[in-house]
Amino acid sequence: MRVYRLAFSVCVLVPLFVAACSHAPEFVAQEEPWRADAERACLTRVNIASSPFVTPRSALGGPSVCGALKPFDMNGTVSGRVRLVPAATLQCQMIPTVDRWVAEVVEPAAQRYLFSQLVELKVAASYSCRPMNGISGGKLSEHGHANAVDISAFKLADGRTVTVKSGWNGSSAERDFLHAVHRGACDVFTTVLGPNANSFHADHFHVDLARHGRDGNGRVCQ
């Protein structure tokens, strides 16, 4: 394992012209050749360019081991029936997986428990070169590989918005919906973290395609 210290810092001018600087947290990461191999295999297998809701963007390279070979901005899923707001920056394998989760789990759960059609997912985070949970010195987050997305709310055609923060322990319909969405995510993603995981996930679902365990086939569903 190698410790990467991000060399840049972000400074902004605040009133009174005092420069307030926040230094990017450092993280621990290792070279993982499987990532580029898996991404290349996906790019040859999946015809992502056919979707008008998924736009290729320039490569995300670094700093350090962060990035993806050919990331995409995804602003809609399931043929555009459901918006992603703001657009999520994701690597190849995440795109059909998000589609599958929404089509097979989230849309049916919205109909079943909330009696309305799902129209939008609120994206709380996607690509971000940072340690897990933002804690300096931690392992690099899957967000740093464009291999994760955080969803904080679900908008419905009837105007309602169900947030993870208030709905997880909210009305029975909201609870049933969110718990079904979380449970079903565990069938398609390899990591799913929600409010039961820890306080960092009190207001969103984190889903990613990390490899877990010695053989890489482990799953985390919390």
Residues interacting with Zn ion, by CB under 5 A? 148, 150, 206
Output the smallest distance, CB 128 to Zn ion, in A. Answer: 8
Q: Which two tokens stand for residue 43?
A: 């790019």
Output the smallest distance, CB 185 to Zn ion, in A. Answer: 12
Cβ proximity to Zn ion: between 150 and 174 the closer is 150
Provide the 3-class DSSP secondary structure of residue 130. coil
Backbone φ and ψ for 17, nearest 5 degrees, come out as: 55, 40
Rounded CA separation 138/4 (Å): 10
Output the smallest distance, CB 32 to Zn ion, in A. Answer: 18
Rounded CA separation 192/34 (Å): 21
Cβ proximity to Zn ion: between 35 and 204 the closer is 204
Which residue type occupies 214? R
For β-strands 138-139 and 27-29, DSSP reports them as: parallel
Cβ proximity to Zn ion: between 51 and 152 the closer is 152
How many CB atoms are located within 10 Å of the residue 19 CB? 8
Cβ proximity to Zn ion: between 99 and 150 the closer is 150
Distances (CA, A) of 142 to 25, 203, 209, 212: 15, 18, 8, 12
Output the smallest distance, CB 85 to Zn ion, in A. Answer: 17
Q: Which two tokens stand for residue 139?
A: 């392992």
Q: Is the CB of residue 121 less than 8 Å from the CB of residue 86?
A: no
Q: Look up residue 115 and give its DSSP letter.
A: S
Cβ proximity to Zn ion: between 62 and 134 the closer is 134
Q: Closest by alpha carbon to 149, among 74, 216, 64?
A: 74
| Residue with nearest beta carbon to Zn ion | 206
Output the smallest distance, CB 73 to Zn ion, in A. Answer: 18
Output the smallest distance, CB 158 to Zn ion, in A. Answer: 28
Cβ proximity to Zn ion: between 114 and 182 the closer is 182
